Amino acid sequence: QQQVKQSPQSLIVQKGGISIINCAYENTAFDYFPWYQQFPGKGPALLIAIRPDVSEKKEGRFTISFNKSAKQFSLHIMDSQPGDSATYFCAASGSNYQLIWGAGTKLIIKP
């Protein structure tokens, strides 16, 4: 019940295209769903996060879509740019402040 399953493991998108990464969770007590972005040689950094009281959150080119009934959430990157090439992690947590992490998606944006 603690797992967060992330797909795909790797993704190649052309510049200007839409990148989509999906995550699924099992624990219905989770109430916070962040996405982190990690560049090589750096620690992960918060990109965008959502709570289950809304179905979508948008920040610039990045959008989280959240489906509570399906227990799924996804990250959409519009107009993907080479600078978006990084590893992306989804995560989930409940009231104990412990993040449960997906396995990560390595995104490559081809110029």
State yes or no: residue 93 binds another protein (CB under 8 A).
yes
Distance between CA 105 and CA 6 in Å, rounded?
7
Count of residues near another protein by CB under 8 A = 20
State yes or no: residue 85 binds another protein (CB under 8 A).
no
Span from 13-21, 57-65, 75-83, 98-106 in contact with another protein (CB under 8 A): 98-106
Distance between CA 9 and CA 31 in Å, rounded?
24
C-alpha distances (whole Å) from 38 to each of 43, 44, 49, 87, 96 are: 6, 4, 15, 5, 24
Rule CB under 8 A: choose which of 24, 86, 104, 109 binds another protein: 104
State yes or no: residue 102 binds another protein (CB under 8 A).
yes
In this structure, the dihedral spanned by the alpha carbons of residues 24, 27, 29 and 35, taken in order and rounded to 10 degrees, is -30
Task: Give the residues lining the site for another protein (CB under 8 A).
Answer: 6, 9, 32, 34, 41-46, 49, 89, 93, 97-99, 101-104
